[in-house]
Amino acid sequence: MEPLNPVAIPQTGAGRRMCVVGASGKLGRYMVRHALDRGYEVVGVCREQSVPKLDDFADRITVIGGATNDRAVIARAVESCDAVLTVLVPWGVRDYSSGTAQAVMDYAKPGARLVFSCGWHITRDGEDKYSKRFKAMVAVAAKVMRFLRVVDIDDQVEACRRIFASDTRWTVVRGSDLEEGPSEGLPVWSRHVGDPVLASNLTRRTDFALFMVEAVTDDALVREAPAIVGRRTASALAHADGPA
């Protein structure tokens, strides 16, 4: 399988083990690819019915099938991993997101890098500035999805509250709207939504995954909640000069 990025990629993961929780999804599969390209040994966790989605990686990664909020599944998957990357989607109304995050924090080895994904709607310090349109969209989506018992956004908020309060070596990566397409390189980030650098509100999904994987070796991101945007977007090109 060809690497996502054809130029020589530094083997920053050589001799290190990474667990990707939610490996079969769109973001998860990109994370697996980036991790393999960097020499990590990869363990992927996904629902039993989604294991075949990882068939093309079958001879290169270890796949553990099961619910990501099943504590026994997570305990087995994260054992001796140096890094755990988690797709934090709040499926259903039975604490899927917070259960997954809590299990990862409880069972990852001490000192492991923990990187979680979510959207811009998560705020760490309340200093994010959202447009009226964004706030209305999140509020409506939260109500409708919870009513339909499909997604519980409040549980993702709870998951992140626990992560922010934890003394693990976490990073919460907050994604903008996403699109498919070839990589534009590592996204740029800011501590706060509303910063002009983020105004374009668009990131290639492969680059969201790249940011998650590269965060593992970036100590500047420990206990940060970077909000990201594609590095070739208009707002990044106009304003990017480091985190704000």
Ligand X SMILES: NC(=O)c1ccc[n+]([C@@H]2O[C@H](COP(=O)([O-])OP(=O)(O)OC[C@H]3O[C@@H](n4cnc5c(N)ncnc54)[C@H](OP(=O)(O)O)[C@@H]3O)[C@@H](O)[C@H]2O)c1
Q: DSSP assignment, residue 86?
A: E
Residue 75 phi/psi, 5-degree rounding, is -55, -45
- Output the smallest distance, CB 51 to ligand X, in A: 9
Cβ proximity to ligand X, 209 vs 240, nearer residue: 209
In the window 90-119, what residues touch ligand X (CB under 6 A)? Answer: 91, 117-119
- Residues 158-197, mask of contacts with ligand X (x by CB under 6 A): -----------------x-xx-------------------
Cβ proximity to ligand X, 39 vs 184, nearer residue: 184
- Output the smallest distance, CB 206 to ligand X, in A: 10
CA dist 107 and 104 (Å) reads: 5
Cβ proximity to ligand X, 39 vs 162, nearer residue: 162
Q: Which of 190, 204, 191 has the alpha carbon at shortest distance from 239?
A: 190
Residue from 146, 161, 205, 223 in contact with ligand X (CB under 6 A):
205
- Output the smallest distance, CB 141 to ligand X, in A: 11
Helices 132-147 and 153-165, axial angle in degrees (round to 10): 110
* 44 counts as binding ligand X under rule CB under 6 A: no
Q: What is the identity of the amino acid at 5?
A: N
In the window 16-35, what residues touch ligand X (CB under 6 A)? Answer: 22, 24-28
- The tokens for 91 are 């499926």
Cβ proximity to ligand X, 99 vs 119, nearer residue: 119
Q: Which of 41, 18, 58, 80 has the alpha carbon at shortest distance from 209?
A: 18
Widest pairwise Cα distance in the chain: 48
CA dist 112 and 132 (Å) reads: 38
Residues that bind ligand X (CB under 6 A): 22, 24-28, 46-47, 50, 53, 87-89, 91, 117-119, 175, 177-178, 205
